Amino acid sequence: MKKAFLQLHIAVFLAGFTGVLGKLITLNEGLLVWYRLLITAVTMWILWGYQRKIVPLPAKDKLRITGIGFIAALHWVSFYGAIKYGNISIALVCLSAMSFFSAILEPLLTRQPFKLMELLLGLMAIAGIYIIFHFDARFKTGIIIGLVSAFLAALFPIFLRKEVQRINVETVLTWQMTGGWLTLSLVMPFYLYYFPTDQLFPDLSNWFWLLVLAWLCTVLAMRLSTNALRKLSAFTVNLSYNLEPVYGVTLAFLVAGENEQVSQWFYLGFAVIIFAVVVHTSLLRVASRRQLAGQETN
pLDDT tens-digit readout, 30-39? 999 999 999 9
Task: Find all residues with CB under 8 Å of 89, minimum gap 6, and list them.
Answer: 19, 245, 248, 249, 252, 253, 258, 261, 262, 266
Least confident of 3-12, 56-65, 232-241: 232-241
Phi first, then psi: what are they for 144, rounded to 5°?
-60, -45
pLDDT at 235 > cutoff 80: no
Using pLDDT thresholds of 50, 70 and 90, give the confidence band for residue 48. Answer: very high
Position 44 scores a pLDDT of 96
Evaluate if pTM is beyond 0.75. yes
Q: Are 256 and 88 within 8 A, CB to CB?
A: yes
- Rounded to whole angstroms, the Cα distance separating 158 from 91 reads 22
- Rounded to whole angstroms, the Cα distance separating 130 from 100 reads 13
Using pLDDT thresholds of 50, 70 and 90, give the confidence band for residue 251. Answer: confident
Q: Report, as an integer, the average pLDDT of 178-203.
A: 96
pLDDT at 135 > cutoff 80: no
Average pLDDT score over the chain: 88
Q: Report, as an integer, the average pLDDT of 173-201.
A: 96
Per the model's pLDDT, the better-predicted residue between 289 and 206 turns out to be 206
DSSP codes of every residue in the chain = -HHHHHHHHHHHHHHTTHHHHHHH--S-HHHHHHHHHHHHHHHHHHHHHHTT------HHHHHHHHHHHHHHHHHHHHHHHHHHHS-HHHHHHHGGGHHHHHHHHHHHHHT----HHHHHHHHHHHHHHHHHHHH-GGGHHHHHHHHHHHHHHHHHHHHHHHHHTTS-HHHHHHHHHHHHHHHHHHHHHHHHHHS--S--S--HHHHHHHHHHHIIIIIIHHHHHHHHHTTS-HHHHHHHGGGHHHHHHHHHHHHH-GGGT--HHHHHHHHHHHHHHHHHHHHHHHHHHHHHHHHHH-
- Rounded to whole angstroms, the Cα distance separating 50 from 41 reads 14
Domain ranges of the chain: 2-297
Position 1 scores a pLDDT of 67
Q: Report, as an integer, the average pLDDT of 80-97.
A: 89
What are the pLDDT digits (tens) for 156-171? 989 998 898 899 989 9
Position 293 scores a pLDDT of 67
